[in-house]
Amino acid sequence: MDRRRLLTGLLLAAASAVLFSAKAIVVKLAYREGVDALTVVALRMGMALPVFAALSVRYVRRDGPLARRDTFRIVALGAGAYYASIVLDFAGLSYISAGLERLLLFLHPTFVLLLSALVLGRRVTGRELLAMALSYAGIALVMATSHRIEGAHVLLGSVLVLASAFVYAVYLVGAGELVRRLPSVRVSALSLTAACAAALVHFVSVRPLSDLAVSPIVWGLSAANALLCTVAPVLLLGEAIARVGAPRAAQVGMIGPVVTIGLGAWLLGEPVTAGQVAGGAMVLAGVGLIARRRVDASGVVTQDASGRG
């Protein structure tokens, strides 16, 4: 591989990971302004919708329309599993620190592995089981430490974010065959378009539009969340995968939790203890072993270009 192409791809993957990681920080800052999870989700997805819709239309004009079955599948996965994972994630962030949220989301490859074994009959190796055990032991240590610092609400928030990681794994399992056949950014653009539309439909069905009359600070944070922490990293990750492949891009993405923990301590004043550092290292090591072992599980990708920000 050309050295310059390799370096560019790694830098793009790193930039994508950093921007995705900043999402939790931006959301927590918005919560400090008095808005709730559903409003933050609606603002983020509403602002991102035109960009992803335009990107989807561009692919149709360049490559032609997708098969009707593929379109239905991507839209259903986006409006269903992908959107549900976002709602659960943002709800969980109301109760836990940004650093813990990122570590919990980082477990989604372990859920992909379990689902691929149950649904597709893929054999899970002893090494992968040990890696999963290491990851879950690390999360238990982080949660125990966070519980002592932040209180009982940590359990509720952690369950919500773990549910988000599991539902995202369902999305990846469902989209695995599509991502192998189609450009990953195209699949991500259409699924995110559907997720954005679902977010707006959800909001207007349960809330009055007047609830979107938030402060300029929240609008600014939402714009950053939509464009810098959602749209930009999706495009950057897609370019990184095109240059260095999914395995290398996934390895670089492991900086994400570290970045989130650092930003949380710096911008939000979140505590960082020895127990959290040790548990986080165990999670990174365990998930890293699974990622190194195989990027897909019997055709199931563990990360597509949506990056799960």
CA atoms within 13 A on the CB side of 265: 10
Between 180 and 191, the higher pLDDT residue: 191
**What is the model's pLDDT at position 301?**
45
Contact 110, 139 (CB under 8 A): no
pLDDT digits (tens, 9 = 90+) for 258-271: 999 999 999 999 99
Instruction: Report, as an integer, the average pLDDT of 125-133.
Output: 92
Between 289 and 136, the higher pLDDT residue: 136
Does residue 106 form part of some domain? yes
DSSP letter at 264?
A: I
**What is the model's pLDDT at position 122?**
84
**What is the model's pLDDT at position 33?**
96
Sequence-distant (≥ 6) Cβ neighbours of residue 192 within 8 angstroms: 48, 52, 78, 82, 230, 234, 306
Does residue 241 form part of some domain? yes
Does residue 254 form part of some domain? yes
**Which stretches within 207-273 are classed as H helix?**
216-223, 232-252, 255-263
- Residue 164 to residue 253: CA distance in whole angstroms: 19
CA 157 to chain centre: 16
Does residue 224 form part of some domain? yes
Degrees, nearest 5: CA angle 55-26-80: 50
Number of domains in the chain: 1
Contact 22, 228 (CB under 8 A): yes
3 state SS of 34: coil
Does residue 237 form part of some domain? yes
Confidence class for position 183, pLDDT limits 50, 70, 90: confident
Does residue 68 form part of some domain? yes
**What is the model's pLDDT at position 292?**
65
Does residue 306 form part of some domain? no
**Which stretches within 64-214 are classed as H helix?**
68-77, 83-93, 98-105, 108-120, 126-150, 153-181, 184-206
**What is the model's pLDDT at position 5?**
87
pLDDT at 148 over 50: yes
Q: Which residues of 60-95 are buried (b: 16+ CB within 10 A; e: fewer)?
A: eeeeeebeeebeebbbebbbbbbbbbbbbbbbbbbb
Tokens of 285: 């090591």
Does residue 309 form part of some domain? no
Confidence class for position 68, pLDDT limits 50, 70, 90: very high
Nearest to 176 by CA among 109, 85, 235, 101: 109
Instruction: Report, as an integer, the average pLDDT of 129-151.
Output: 91
Range of the domain at 98: 3-301
**What is the model's pLDDT at position 293?**
55
